[in-house]
Amino acid sequence: MANIIEMPKLSDTMTAGTVVSWLKNEGDVVESGDILAEIETDKATQELETFDDGTILKIYVDVGGKAPCGAPLCAIGEAGEEAPKVETPTEEPALESADDQSKSEEASNPQPETKANSQTDSKPAPKSGTASPNVSTSSGDRIFASPLARKVAEEKGVSLNSVKGSGPSGRIVKSDVLAAASGGISSNLGTSAPAAPLEEKLTPVSTMREVIARRLLESKTQVPHFYLEKELNAEALLKTRVAINDKFKKQGLAIKLTVNDYILKASAEALRAVPAMNTSWEGDNIHQHGAVHLSFGVALEDGLVTPVIRDAEKKDVVTISKEARELIDKARAKKLTPEEMTGSTFTVTNLGMFGINNFYGIINPPNAGILSVGGTFKKPVVDEHDNIVVGHRMSIGISGDHRVVDGAVAAMYLQALAEILENPALMLV
């Protein structure tokens, strides 16, 4: 008797998922442990594993289709067996007209999480190993590539237009991009081609963006925010970073610390100094946490995710840097697990790399606060001898939950953090 594989509930907040790609076709023989598909949840893409042996009799949800948890995705049984007839309550986005879609394909670069792309072509989307398209060629043909292949192509500067896919149904995989990079295929980035004209279009809301919108609305409307800001002297921090990275380089170590690594470490140390900031509102109780589980923002094409470094107060800056890089790589490949994105006690978001001097983030419940970090910038300052000199300044801000902490607590936290960042040696004790 055929077994129905259903849309799994991969996180507590997940209500529906989108099929990013099918790695098996109807008629393929599968064994327990095989990966059938890639499923996009609210903030990650995860693999769908089968625990049944048999033949895929029927695929009920095509690539790009969205289905609620518990909805049938495919049927596995004996070869020649008739697949069960089921109703598939998929949630399909509205389709563009043929003219509108043609114009959109010619002028735009489709997003990795688009849901309607695989449904709007006149031909059915391939089911085997195809991800949502990320490139349109000048002739209107689409290029299908895995999320990891897209990431590697961006890092290596390889144009996917020039890569021949070796995966199922011609899908471009990581090894194809690496081969293209070693073979000297050039990127089309940075060419002098004229920019495409602005195009008015509607983009279906992805599962990730839908969840982000709901959570941010809940935070902003249910949590009473207040905001504080402090400017600090970043000169010692910048010099320390350069000196330590030079030492690592001379020792032949592949370690390169960033300013953000020091900020994460200092944030955890400041929470040790002001534990009242490491708290959560729980209705009848205010929960002061016994460990610092530090989440930090990672900007993706379709939104922000916040992976968590656990027990950050017990880790040195090199360990924090290593874990942060691993989590960032997984976030960009959409391979973060629900456990790696939940359970934080405090959040850090940094937009300094985008040239932003100061801003305020929206609190990530149930955290009592979120630290917002701007970039370092030069400005005239008055030194201890009353001379006007060139200073290296950084702005740090905090958004606090006024139900849990008062302004004085948040101010003490910023004061402690500034002291650590201005005296980086304090991170060593």
Active site positions, annotated: 402
Q: Which helix (H) or strand (E) holds 155?
A: helix 147-156
d(CA 234, CA 206): 39
- Maximum separation of any 2 CA atoms in the chain, in Å: 88
292 phi and psi, to 5 degrees?
A: -100, 105
Burial of 12 (C-beta count, 10 Å sphere; 0-12/13-18/19+)? exposed
Pair 191, 185: CB distance under 8 Å: no
Residue type at 428?
L
d(CA 299, CA 281): 27
Dihedral Cα 340, 318, 276, 398, nearest 10 deg: -80
> What angle do helix axes 259-273 and 407-422 make, rounded to 10 degrees?
130
Please tell me what DSSP assigns to residue 388. E
Distance, CA of 13 to chain centre: 16
Strand partners, 48: 37
d(CA 88, CA 428): 57
Cα separation values, 65 from 12, 60, 307, 351, 359, Å? 21, 9, 27, 34, 37
